[in-house]
Amino acid sequence: MTGTASSSDSIVRPTRTPSIAVVLMAEGDPLEPPVDRGAEKDWITRLIVVGKDPAAKREAERLGALHRETLDAVAKALPADIEFIWILADRAKPEPGALTALVQVAVNHQVALVGSKILSSEDSEQLLSVGSATDLFGVTFTGLDDSELDFAQYDVVREVSNLSPVSLLMRRRLLAVLGGFDESLPPVSAGLDLCQRVRLAGGRVVVAPSSRVRYPSGLFPRFAGWRERAGRMRAMFKAYRLMTLAWAIPLDVLLNLGEGLFSLVLGRPGRLAGFLTAVGWNIWRFPSAVSGRIKAQKFRAVGDEDIFRYQMSGSVTLREVGSEIGRRIGDFGPEEKSWAVVLTSRLRRGAPLAALLSFLYVAAASRNLWLVGLPSVGFSFPPGDDSAAVLAAYAGGWSDAGLGTSLPPHPAAALTAFADWLTLGWSGSQILVTGMALLAGLLGSARLFRSMGVASAGSHAGAAVYLLGSATASVLAYGYWPLVVALGALPWSVSAAARPWPDGWRARIGDLAAVSLACALLAASTPLAVAAPLAIVLLGCAAGVGWSWWSVPRALLGAAAGVSAVGAYLWAYDLDVWSHGPSLDWEADWVYWGGVAAAGLLAVLFGGARLRGATGVGLALSGAGLWVGHLPEWELALAGAVLAAVGAGTIVAASVAAGVREGKDRLRVGGLLALLAGMVVLGSSLPSLEGGRAGLAEDRWSDRLEFASSLAEPGDGSRLLLIGEEGSLPGMEREGEGFSYRLMKAGPPTLEQAWLAPPGVGDQALEEVVRTLSEARPLRPGELLAPFGVRWVVVSQETGFSRYLSGQVDVRILSESAEAVVYENLVALPRSDGPYVGAWDSVAPDRVEGLEFQGRIRIGDNAHPGWGPDWVQHSWWNTISGSDGAGTFTPDPVERRLGWWGGGLLIGLAGLVWWGRGASR
Amino acid sequence: MRGVAVGMLGLVLGVLTWAISAASSPAAVQAPGEETLSGSDHLVCPLADFVRSETEVSVKATRPGPIPLWDVAEAEWSLLGGAELDERGMWTGAAPAGSSVFLAETGAGPSGAGITNAAPQAFSAWTCGESSGRLAALGGATLADDRLDLILYNPYVLDSVVQVVVTSELGEDTPAALREIYVPAGKTVEMTLDEPLRLRRSLAVLAESSPGRVALLLRQTGKGDTAMTEGVTPHTDWWLPVPDLGQAETHLIIASPSGSPFTYRVDLMTESGPLPAFLEEDFLPGQLVSIPLSALPGGVTGIGVVGTVPLAAGLRIEGEGLLAIGPGVRETARSWFLPAAGDGPGRDARAWVLNPSGLEASVSVSAGNFSFTITVPPESVRSFDLGKLRASAEGIAGYLVEAQEEIAVVMTTQIQGGAASVAAGAPVG
C-alpha cells in the first residue's frame, strides 16, 4: 500500500477520544442529530448543517448547529482540534454504533475515507450499498441484486472504488486540503469524484460494513440518468493523467456510441440521447473541470494504477449489453432439442436480429445520402441560403420562385427552411432531417405493426418494405424528397393515436401532442396525406386489430392539428391544394402489387386469427392507396402512395409473422409460404441498394447550374430559363410544344423554388415569348427575354430547341456539352432597374433598394398590388416609386398570422410531447 | 372475420384500380415534326456584287412604318438607319456594296425582299429569305470561261460550321478542302469552285450548317452575264414557271441532300396542255439531274417537281449574252411580292404566273394605286409586263401579285443587251 498524504498526522489510538464534527447535508427535510446518547455523543464536538437554501439555515438554528453553504466552507470553518468529519445525508438514520465502527476502521486501518453500509429504512434487511466498484470509465457497479438482503455476506472491511455519499467519515485535514464534494455533480458521481481525489492524494478508501446507516430505498441515489453519466466523465477527467485520458476518452466515446446504437435498435433512444447530452454538459462545463483537475492533480501522490487497482476490469457498459443480448437470445435449451426447433425458436425471438438487419438494410440503401449528400433532382434540393426569406414568403410574403408570387411555397420547403434556421444555416440540416425521418420511419412503422399484433421479426421486415418498397420507390424516383419526411411522421401519428390511453392527465396531454405533432409534420410534407392516420385508425378499429375506437377522435384531433399547422398554405390556395401540383403520375407496379396481394392472402389463410386483422388492414390500405393513387392530381396520388406503402408494409409484416408462428403442420407449411411471399416482396426492394439513395433519383442538377451563381452580379436578381424534355427539369415545369421550361434564380436549384404557383400575368407573357422563340425564330430573343430578368438560357440537346436560337444576334453560347447548351443573354436586364441599369438591387425576394429617384422603378416579377410604394402595373410587371430608395412587398396579414401560428404550433407541440414524457419517467 | 372483410374490400379496390389502369389506352406518341417553315421576324439578304454593279433592295412587310436595317460585315453589326415602309408596307433603296448581309427586321407576319445587282451589261437578282440549317443552290457550271463562286454568310452571333456537298454530273464531287467550312459569327466566307472543279457542266451545292445558320449565294459568271442564285431550303414540292427570255437553252436541275434513294416526279405545263407525271424516276444519293428542256416536248411553259423527300429544283437559262439561274418556288400562295429594285428604263420586267390548280385563276398585279388583272387558265403559265404598271405608278417599291387561287410567281428582268435574271417571288400571304 502506498503511503497516505496524511502520514505526517499523529495516529489516533482508539483509546483517545476522537473529536468529530458531524455535517448534515440538508436537502429540505427536517434534520435530527444523528447520535443522541452514549459515548458517540461525546465524540461529536460540532454539528454543522450544510445547504444553500434558507430552510437549511432554519434547521441549523433549530438544532443549535452551525450553518455553512458548502462543504468547502465547513472545512475552512473547523478548528484544528477536529480530527474527523462525519458527512451524513439529511435522510440518513445511523444505527447505534455506526460512528464507532467508522472511527475504528479509520484509526485501525489508517484510512482517509470510510463509508458505511447503507440499508433500506423500509425493509430492515435490504441492502442498498456496501461500497461499489467502478470500471475504468467511472461507471458504478454495486454488485448487488435487486432487493438483495443483508446476511453479512459483504461484511468485510475492504478497499473499494466508490462509496455512497450517504454516510462518510473523512479526516478533517484531508477535507481542508482536497475540498468537499464537487457542487456541480449529482450524488453518486460526487462520491466517486471525492473517492478518486482521496486516492490520488494517497489516502485509502474503505467501506466499514459494521457501520450501518438506514436510508429510504426509493430516494437512495443511484447511478442513473444523464447527469450521473456526465458526472462520472467529469470525475474521470479530473483524476486521470493526460496519458490515460488520451486513450480512455476515445474508448469511452466509442463504447457509449455503440451502446447507444444498440439501445436505439431496441427502441430505447434515451441512452444515446443521454450520452450526447452528458458530453454536451461536460463541454459546457469544461473550464470548471479544468480548474478542478488542476486542484486535484496538485495533491497527487500516486499514479493512475493505484486507482485502477480497485476497479473492475473491462467495461460495465459492455457487460450490460452482453447480458441484454444473452437475455434476448436465450439459452440453447436442452440438448435433445433439434436444431430446427432451436432455429425456429430463435427466429421467433429474433426481434433484435431482425431490427438490426432492417436497420443495416436501410442504412445500406441510403449510404450515399450520408457519404455524398442528397441528390439534386426532382424535388430534392437543399434549402436556399436565406431561410428567413423562405419563412417570410410562407407567412404571406413574396416568394421569388419562377417570376414571383404572393402564394406561399410548399410547406415542405417552409419546414426545411425552419430546420435550417434552427440549426443556424448548418449545411447538414437537411441530411439530419432525412436521417431522422428514415430512422423514425423504420422504428415507427415497426412499432405500428407490432401494435397491430404482428411479432417483432415481421414488423421489422414490414418496416423495410414500408420505406423501400415499390410504393415509395416510384415516388422517390421522381426525386420527391418530402415523401421521406412523411414516411417518418406517419407511423408515429397512428401509433400515438392507437396506443392505450395513459393514466394521468400529463401523459394524456403528451400523447395528444404527439399525435398532433406527427400529423403536423405529415401535413407539412404531404398536405393531403394528413388524412392517412385517420384512415388507418378507422380501418384498424374496423378490422379488430385491438385498437380502441377512442383512437378515432384522437386521430381526428391530430388531423385537425395537422391541417391547422399548414393553414397559411391552405388559406392562400383556398383549400384547392390538390388541383395544383407537379404533373407527375404515380405508377403502380402491378407485378409487385400482385405479390403483395398473394402474401396478404396467404397471411389471411395461415396467419391465424391474431394476424388476420393486421392483414386485413394491410389489404384495405393497399387497395385504397392504389385507388387514390391513380387519380390524376399529384397531391392526391401522393396520399394514395403513402397509404399503399403502409398497406404493403403491414402485409409483409403479417406474412413474415405468419411464417414464424407456431401451429399444426398444415398451418406451419402455409405460414412458411406466407413468409416466403413476404420475403419475395421484401426482396423486390433490393434494387434500391444499388444507388444507395433510399430510392431517390440520381443527382442531376447539383453542379450544372453552378456557373450562374459565380457569374451573377450580386443583387441583380438574374434568372435562368431552363428548357428540357418533359419531366427532366428541376421541380415543377411549364409546358411548351414538345418541351418543358421554367425560370429559376441564378445558381443551383433550391427546394423553395421547386414548386411553381399557378401562372400569373408575367408567366403568361413568358409563355407567349417562349412560343415566339419556337415558332417565329426571332432575330432578338435576348431582347424578348430581358424583361423577365433572364440572363442565361439552358437548353437540353434532346429537345432540339437550340435550332430556334441559332439565327439571332443577342444571345451567345456560353458553353456546350452533349447534354445541354448554355446561352448568355447579351442584353439581359436585372430584376429591378431604375434610372440606369445597376442603380437598384434586388436585396431580398420582397425588397429592392437603390438610389432615391423621382421616377418609376421596374420590378420584373408578376404584377401584384402588394408592392410599394405607389405601385402601378405596367404590362405584366410592377413599377413603384423610387423616391424612398426602397421598395417592399406588404405581406398578407391573415397569411402572416397563420404562418406564425403554424410555426408556433410545431414548437409548442414538441414542448408538450417532451413535457408529457416526463410523466412516464 | 372483420379483418378478412376489411381486407377483401381492399382487394376489390385494388383489382378495380388495376382493371381501370389496364383499360386506359396509352398516350399517342407524338412524332417529331419536320422543320416547318414559319414566319420569322427578319429577312436575311446576302449581298454580292460584280464589277461596276449597283445593288438595290426591296422590302415588303405586313405593316407600314419604320423598320431597322442592319449591315453585317466583318463581325460588325452596323445599323443602317431605318426604312420607312409605305402604306402597303413596302420600301426600296440602295444596299451596301460588297459581300455582306443585309438584315431587315420586318417583324412578325409574312414578309419578303428581293435584291438586284445591275451593271451596264449584266444583271442578276435573287430573293431574300430566312437563313437555314440546310440550303441548296443549283445551276452552276465550270466550263471553259465560266467562273463560279460559293459565298457563305453568317449574320448571327453564333459561329457556324458548314458541311458542304457538291454534286455534278459525275455524282458527288466535293473537293476535300470544302467539305467543312467554318464561318465565324458576323462574317462572310467566299471560295471559288471553278478551280477545284473544272469543266463541270452542271453543279449543285448542298450546305448543312450545325451549329448555327448561314445564308448562301452562288455567283456564276459566263456567257457575258453574271447570275446570282440564292440557297433555298429543300422541299418536297417545287413550281417552276419557264420564262421566255430568248434563251438558247434552259436546263431543269434537281438535287437532293437525301442519303437514300427516293422517287421524284416531273409534271409539265405546255402550250398545248398539261402533261402530268411526264417523268417519274428514282433519284439516287449524290445524283444531280439536269434535263435540257429541248429534250422535252415543245412549248413547256411551267414545270412542277414533286419528291417523296425534300429536294431542290431550279432553272439555268443560257443564251447569247444571257445567263440566268434561279430556284423554283417551293410553295404556292395567294399573294406574292416582286421587288421593284432594279426596275427601270431599258429593263424589261415581267411576272410569270403559274397556276397549278384545276381552276382558272384571276390574278391581280398591282403597284401603288394601280393594278391590272390577268386570267391564268388551269395548269398553265401566263406572264405580265410589269412595265405597264411602272409607267402608271411612279416611285413604287414593289409589286403585289394576288389571286383567289394558290399560284406560283417568278420575276424576270432583262436588259437590252440580253442579260437577264430570274428570281422567285416572295410569298406574303
Name the 3-class secondary structure at A38: coil
B131 touches A at CB < 8 Å: yes
Interface list for A 537-556 with B (CB within 8 A): 539, 542-545
Tell whether B12 is within 8 A of chain A (Cβ): yes
Q: Is the dihedral of CA A743, A747, A748, A752 positive or negative?
A: negative
Mean pLDDT over B319-332 rounds to 89
Which residue's C-alpha cell is 445547504?
A: A51
E-strand ranges in A829-907 read 832-833, 840-844, 847-850, 856-859, 867-868, 872-874, 877-881, 886-889
Taking alpha carbons only, the member of B340, B421, B343 closest to residue B126 is B421
**B396 band by pLDDT with thresholds 50, 70 and 90:** confident
Give per-residue pLDDT as tens, B165-210. Answer: 999 999 999 999 889 999 999 999 999 998 889 899 999 999 999 8
The two beta strands, A127-129 and A113-120, are antiparallel
Looking at the complex, does the CB of residue B62 fall below 8 Å from at least one CB of chain A?
Answer: no
Contacts for B115 with CB less than 8 Å, ≥ 6 apart: B45, B46, B47, B55, B56, B57, B95, B102, B125, B126, B127, B128, B228, B339, B341
Longest CA pairwise span in chain B (Å): 107
Residue A775 grid coordinates: 415558332
For residue A328, the model assigns a pLDDT of 63
Give the integer Cα–Cα distance in Å for A90 and A100: 19
Q: How many CA atoms lie within 13 A of A457 on its CB side?
A: 20
Nearest to A653 by CA among A510, A842, A446: A446
Chain A residues with CB under 8 Å of B211 CB are: 802, 806, 813, 816
Contacts of A542 in chain B (CB under 8 A): 2, 6
State the first-to-last Cα distance of chain B, in angstroms, to the nearest integer: 77
Question: What is the tens place of the pLDDT at every residue in A119-129?
Answer: 998 877 889 99
Distance between CA atoms of residues B412 and B123, nearest Å: 10
Helix (H) or strand (E) segment spanning residue B82: strand B76-85
User: For position A3, what pLDDT does the model report?
Assistant: 41
Please give the pLDDT value at position A606. Answer: 85
CB B252 within 8 A of CB B141: no
Q: Are A173 and A202 in contact (CB under 8 A)?
A: no
Query: Mind listing the pLDDT tens digit for each residue in A640-693?
Result: 999 999 999 999 999 998 887 655 565 677 788 888 999 999 999 999 888 899
A778/B40 touch (CB, cutoff 8 Å), yes or no: yes
User: What is the C-alpha separation between A396 and A388, in angstroms, rounded?
Assistant: 13
- Burial string for A436-459 (b: 16+ CB within 10 Å, else e) reads ebbbbbbbbbbbbbbbbbbbbbbb
Instruction: Give the start-to-end residue ranges of the domains of chain A.
Output: 1-329, 351-691
Chain B segment 31-60 residues within 8 A of A by beta carbon are 32-33, 35, 38-42, 44
Q: Name the packing angle between helices A482-498 and A429-451 (round to 10°).
A: 40
Average pLDDT score over chain A: 88
Hey, what's the cell of A729? 427539369
- B105/B69 Cα distance (integer angstroms): 6
Q: Do the Cβ atoms of B156 and A777 come within 8 Å?
A: no
Judge: A778–B42 Cβ closer than 8 Å, yes or no.
Answer: yes
| A33 has pLDDT over 90 | no
The overall longest dimension of chain A from CA atoms, in Å, is 117
CB A621 within 8 A of CB A647: yes
Q: What is the mean pLDDT of residues A250-279?
A: 85
CB B57 within 8 A of CB B339: yes
Q: How much is the pLDDT for A144?
A: 83
Q: Hey, is the C-beta of B316 within 8 angstroms of any chain A C-beta? A: no
Nearest in space to A230 (alpha carbons), one of A183, A281, A195, A283: A281
Closest Cα partner for A416 from A402, A395, A430, A434? A430
Residue type, A330: G
Above 90 in pLDDT, residue B296?
no
Question: Residue A577: which residues within 8 A CB-CB, separation 6 or more?
Answer: A527, A528, A569, A570, A635
pLDDT of residue A626: 93
pLDDT, tens digit (0-9, with 9 covering 90-100), for B12-60: 888 888 888 877 655 444 433 444 445 678 999 999 877 778 888 999 9
Residue A613 burial (10 A CB sphere; 0-12, 13-18, 19+) = buried
ipTM over 0.90: no
A454 Cβ contact list (under 8 Å, min separation 6): A462, A611, A614, A650, A653, A654, A657
Which helix (H) or strand (E) segment holds residue B268: the answer is strand B262-270
How do residues A376-390 score in pLDDT, each as one tens digit? 999 999 998 899 999
Which residues sit opposite A744 in a β-bridge? A720
CA distance A596 to chain B (A): 10
Instruction: Give the C-alpha separation, A631 to B135, whole Å.
Output: 49
- Provide long-range contacts, Cβ within 8 A and 24+ apart, for B378-382: B379/B269, B379/B273, B379/B274, B379/B355, B380/B269, B380/B274, B380/B301, B380/B302, B380/B354, B380/B355, B381/B241, B381/B242, B381/B269, B381/B301, B381/B302, B381/B352, B381/B353, B381/B354, B381/B355, B382/B352, B382/B353, B382/B355
What residues of chain A, 41 to 70, have a C-beta less than 8 Å from chain B? none
Residue A611: helix, strand or coil by DSSP?
A: helix
Task: Tell me how far apart the alpha carbons of residues A115 and A112 are, in angstroms, rounded to a whole number.
Answer: 10
What are the angstrom distances between the C-alpha of A845 and each of A386, A393, A787, A872? Answer: 10, 8, 17, 19
CB proximity B130 to A under 8 Å = yes
Predicted confidence (pLDDT) per residue in B22-31, tens digit: 776 554 444 3
H helix and E strand count, chain B: 2, 32
Beta bridge partners of B273: B270
Supply angle C-alpha B33, B34, B39, rounded to 5.
100
Residues in B closer than 8 angstroms to A592, CB to CB, are none
- Cα–Cα separations (whole angstroms), residue B13 to A398, A631, A637, B331: 43, 13, 15, 58
pLDDT of residue B223: 76
Listed by number, the residues of chain B in 359-378 with a beta carbon closer than 8 Å to a beta carbon of chain A are none
Query: Across-strand partners of B152?
Result: B189, B216
In this prediction, residue A15 carries a pLDDT of: 52
Angle at A234 between CA A228 and CA A239, to 5 degrees: 125
- Helical residues (DSSP H) of A270-331, grouped into ranges: 270-284, 286-298, 305-308, 316-329
CB-based contact (8 Å) between B277 and chain A? no
Q: Dump pLDDT digits (tens) for A348-403.
A: 555 667 888 888 999 999 999 988 899 999 999 999 889 999 999 999 999 999 99
Across the interface, do B41 and A776 touch by the CB < 8 Å criterion? yes
More confident residue, A339 or B404: B404
Instruction: Give residues 814 to 833 of A whose Cβ lies within 8 Å of B.
Output: 816, 826
- Chain A residue closest to B31 (CA)? A738
Is A88's pLDDT higher than 70?
A: yes
Cα–Cα distance between A179 and A188 in angstroms, integer?
A: 17
The conformation of residue A577, written as its DSSP 8-state character, comes to: -
The partner residue sitting opposite A539, judged by closest CB among B6, B12, B14, is B6
User: What pLDDT sits at residue A888?
Assistant: 95
β-strands B54-60, A847-850: how paired? unpaired
Residues with Cβ within 8 Å of residue A622, at least 6 apart in sequence: A593, A596, A597, A600, A643, A644, A647, A648, A651, B10, B14
**Rounded (10°) angle between helices A387-394 and A411-422:** 140
Whether the Cβ atoms of residue B148 and residue B50 lie closer than 8 Å to each other: no
What is the Cα–Cα distance from A503 to A660, expressed in whole angstroms?
34
Distance between CA atoms of A898 and A685, rounded to whole angstroms? 40
For B122-140, write each residue's pLDDT tens digit: 788 899 877 788 999 999 9
A267 band by pLDDT with thresholds 50, 70 and 90 = low
The pLDDT score that the predictor gives to residue A390 is 95
Do the beta carbons of residue A383 and residue A429 sit within 8 Å? Answer: yes
**What number of C-beta contacts closer than 8 Å exist between A and B?**
144
Closest CA to B118 of B45, B50, B220: B50
Does A776 contact chain B (CB < 8 Å)?
yes
Say if the Cβ atoms of B105 and A779 lie within 8 Å.
yes
Grid cell, residue A694, equals: 433510399
DSSP β-bridge partners for residue B312: B255
- Tens of pLDDT, residues A186-237: 999 999 999 999 999 999 999 999 999 999 988 888 888 899 999 999 999 9
B334 SS3 class: strand
CA distance A221 to A187: 6
Distance CA A498, CA A515 (A): 9
Superfamily of domain A1-329: Spore Coat Polysaccharide Biosynthesis Protein SpsA; Chain A (3.90.550.10)
pLDDT above 60 for B101: yes
